[in-house]
Amino acid sequence: MLDLNEAAEHMRLYTLKQRGRQLRKYRREWGIDIDYVARVAELSKSTLSRFERGLNDVKVETYARILAVIEQIGEARAEVLEFLVRLETARKEGKELLAALAYSPVPDNAEERKTWIAEETKKQIERRERQSFSESMKERYEAQIAELEKRIAELRDLLQLETQAALKESERDELREKIKSRDSGEPE
């Protein structure tokens, strides 16, 4: 929960309109009713509405309560989203296991069936780990290849510059020879 100093600092940094718009944005994006926020923050719906529209400011204490409500909702929302991700992962893993079970002969004996299910589960986990390892190795090799390609391009550029410098040096040497032979009176 935010304390009064944090709320006061927030009020100092942001205008009434900015604070009101941000509150309304979060509330609407998260599907939170204005009545709920007003009730939990212990203020009237009309006061909260005027605050969101940037018409009336609230006391620091009230603003701290509003921020605390938004913070609580945000934390709860993050927990729900994390739970949904875990649930979806478990659902996918369960589907994979069920698919494996559907195409394999299931032992009739209960004890053998438990052992068989444990082995199938272990195989699924190992398969996922190998796939994950393969993907991470692929990413690592792709990064190394990109670095090597970059280095090759740099070396190619350097070789081109050195070749150009050698050609210019050769041209200078030929020109010196011509000048030398002309100054000495020798035919070219």
- Give me 139's structure tokens: 């990413």
For residues 181 and 128, membership in a common domain is answered with: yes
Nearest to 24 by CA among 36, 15, 32, 12: 32
CATH at 9: 1.10.260.40
Give the whole-angstrom CA distance, residue 164 versus residue 170: 10
pLDDT of residue 107: 64
Please state the φ and ψ torsions of residue 57, each to the nearest 5 degrees. Answer: -85, 165
| Alpha helix positions (H), the chain | 4-13, 16-29, 34-40, 45-52, 60-102, 110-184
Torsion of CA 12, 15, 16, 18, to 10 degrees: -130
Q: What is the pLDDT along the chain (188 residues), one digit of tens a residue?
A: 457 888 899 899 999 999 999 999 988 888 888 998 899 899 999 999 999 999 999 999 999 999 888 888 888 878 877 877 877 777 777 666 666 656 666 666 777 777 777 777 787 777 777 777 777 777 777 777 778 778 887 888 888 888 888 888 888 889 998 888 888 876 65
Nearest to 33 by CA among 7, 81, 69, 61: 69
For residues 183 and 141, membership in a common domain is answered with: yes
pLDDT of residue 46: 95
- Residue 46 belongs to domain spanning: 4-89
pLDDT of residue 96: 67
pLDDT of residue 188: 54
- Burial class for 48, CB neighbours closer than 10 Å (0-12, 13-18, 19+): buried
DSSP state for residue 31 in the 8-state scheme? T
For residues 84 and 115, membership in a common domain is answered with: no
Tally of domains within the chain: 2
For residues 84 and 120, membership in a common domain is answered with: no
Q: What is the pLDDT of residues 133-173, one digit of tens each?
A: 777 777 777 777 778 778 887 888 888 888 888 888 888 88
Residue whose structure tokens are 């900015």: 18
